[in-house]
Structures are given as structure tokens and as C-alpha cells.
Structure 1
């Protein structure tokens, strides 16, 4: 009996895509839309990019792409290093 639908994707292909984006998978492939725990080889930080986003051209490391949120103390330190002073109450969530 013939199978209908799309052919199964080779399980090595998603890993090759992530490695080409400088991401080393740290767990088995969870599916294209699921967060996938990886390590960015350039900075060494762990993150959970989605294969679907990486294949669309998004950078997989939220720290290197500037999308990561900083904790209030780190953010204040970055501002002070740039010669700025954080506003009182600016650390509210």
C-alpha cells in the first residue's frame, strides 16, 4: 500500500540547517515549530530557536541578534557605560 501525503523529511536535514546557522542542537529534533535547545557556536550561549524561524532567515541567537531582554541591573550598567543615567522606576516590568 502506497503512502499518501508528503514524504518524511530526513532527520539529519534539520540538524544540518541549524549547524549552517552556527547553532549546535543539544537535544533531538522536536519539530519545525517547536523550540529547540541549541548552543550558538559563536558566543557559546544556549537558546531555544525554532527551525521554522531559522529557515526564514532569522538569526537563531537572541543574544547576538539583540532580541534578548536584559535584567534591570545589567541594563542600568550598559546605560551608565554609555554615559546615561536610567530614570527612577524604569526597572518596572
Structure 2
């Protein structure tokens, strides 16, 4: 298990109700599953995360939190929902 920080942006921040929070997990999928179980998080959180892209320590890891994406000790996960604007 590794400890680090999850940062939420835009709709992910609104669904999580916080800007960031700690993780204690071995993989990205595990960290996001644990985050989904926190009090006050409903289906909206899961829906936003399912549509999001992810960075781990600034490196893109795709749009799906696969079990194979290991998290580093002291790492930062960025949850980036689709952005729109003009």
C-alpha cells in the first residue's frame, strides 16, 4: 500500500465535495473505490470518475482506473473530468 494525495478538478471536485484527500492504496482502481465509499458520496461521484482521465505524478495513465496502475508512495493522482468551454 502507498500513501499519497488525490486531487479533484471541476465536476470531480463538486462530486467529491473536496479539492483533495489522501489515499492509502496499492492501485488507482483501489484508491478510487475507497474514495467512492466515503460518507456523502453518491452515484454522481462514480459517474464523474467513470468519465474522467487520470494523471499519476503528472503522467497520463488513461481514462480507466485499471488495477495494473500502481500508485507510488507520496504520489499525486489528478482526477480530470471532461472539460467544456469556449
| Category of TM-score, reference length = shorter chain | under 0.3
Give the number of the structure with larger relative contact order, counting CA–CA contacts within 8 Å between residues 6 or more apart: 2
The TM-score with structure 1 as length reference comes to 0.24
The TM-score with structure 2 as length reference comes to 0.25
